Amino acid sequence: MKAWLAHHAHSLRIALARLRHAPFATLFTVLVLGIAIALPAGLYLLLNNVKQAAAGIEPRAEVNVFLRLEVPETEARQLADSLRSWPEVAAARFIGRDEALQRLERLGLGEISAGLPANPLPHAIAVTARATDPATLEALAAKLRQQKGVGEISLDGEWARRLDALLGLGNQLVWLLAGLLGLALAAITGNTIRLQIYAQRDEIEVARLIGATDRFIRRPFLYFGGLQGLLGGLAAWGLISLLRHLLQGPVSQLAQAYGSRFALTGLSLAEAGIMLAAAGLLGLLGAWLAVSHTRRSLDIS
DSSP 207-245: HHHTT--HHHHHHHHHHHHHHHHHHHHHHHHHHHHHHHH
Helices of type H across 71-213: 73-83, 97-106, 134-145, 158-199, 201-209
The model's pLDDT over 122-165, given as tens digits with 9 standing for 90+, comes to 888 888 888 777 777 778 888 888 888 888 888 765 665 676 67
* Contacts (Cβ under 8 Å, ≥6 apart) of 88: 129, 130, 131, 136, 139, 140
Residue type at position 238 = G
Which among 215, 235, 237 has a CA at the least distance from the CA of 227?
Answer: 235
* Contacts (Cβ under 8 Å, ≥6 apart) of 213: none
Which among 276, 282, 35, 288 has a CA at the least distance from the CA of 182?
Answer: 282
Task: Compute the distance between CA of residue 234 and CA of residue 272 in angstroms, rounded to an integer.
Answer: 9
pLDDT at site 221? 78
Task: Compute the distance between CA of residue 123 and CA of residue 66 in angstroms, rounded to an integer.
Answer: 6
Which DSSP letter does residue 147 get?
S
Q: What is the largest CA-CA distance in the chain?
A: 108
Mean pLDDT of the chain: 76
pLDDT at site 186? 80
Task: Compute the distance between CA of residue 43 and CA of residue 31 in angstroms, rounded to an integer.
Answer: 18
Give the pLDDT band of residue 1 (cuts 50, 70, 90): low
Query: Is a pLDDT exceeding 80 seen at residue 118?
Result: no
Query: Is a pLDDT exceeding 50 seen at residue 301?
Result: no
The model's pLDDT over 259-282, given as tens digits with 9 standing for 90+, comes to 667 777 888 888 888 889 888 888
Average pLDDT over residues 74-88: 88
pLDDT at site 300? 47
Residue type at position 160 = A
Which among 128, 124, 118 has a CA at the least distance from the CA of 103?
Answer: 124
The whole-model pTM stands at: 0.60
Task: Compute the distance between CA of residue 279 and CA of residue 159 in angstroms, rounded to an integer.
Answer: 37
Query: Is a pLDDT exceeding 70 seen at residue 105?
Result: no
pLDDT at site 258? 62
58-62, 192-196, 244-248, 250-254: lowest mean pLDDT where? 58-62
More confident of the two residues 91 and 135:
91
Query: Is a pLDDT exceeding 80 seen at residue 211?
Result: no
* Contacts (Cβ under 8 Å, ≥6 apart) of 296: none
Which H/E stretch holds residue 86?
none
pLDDT at site 260? 65
Ordered domains of the chain (ranges, CATH) = 2-57+162-298 (no CATH), 61-131 (3.30.70.3040)
Task: Compute the distance between CA of residue 205 and CA of residue 216 in angstroms, rounded to an integer.
Answer: 13
Phi and psi (nearest 5°) for 102? -65, -35
Task: Compute the distance between CA of residue 185 and CA of residue 33 in angstroms, rounded to an integer.
Answer: 6
The model's pLDDT over 3-38, given as tens digits with 9 standing for 90+, comes to 656 656 756 676 667 767 777 777 888 888 888 888
- Map 107-127 to HEC letters: CCCHHHCCCCCCCCCCCEEEE
DSSP for 258-277, written as a single string:
TT---------HHHHHHHHH
The model's pLDDT over 177-209, given as tens digits with 9 standing for 90+, comes to 888 888 878 888 777 777 777 766 666 666 666
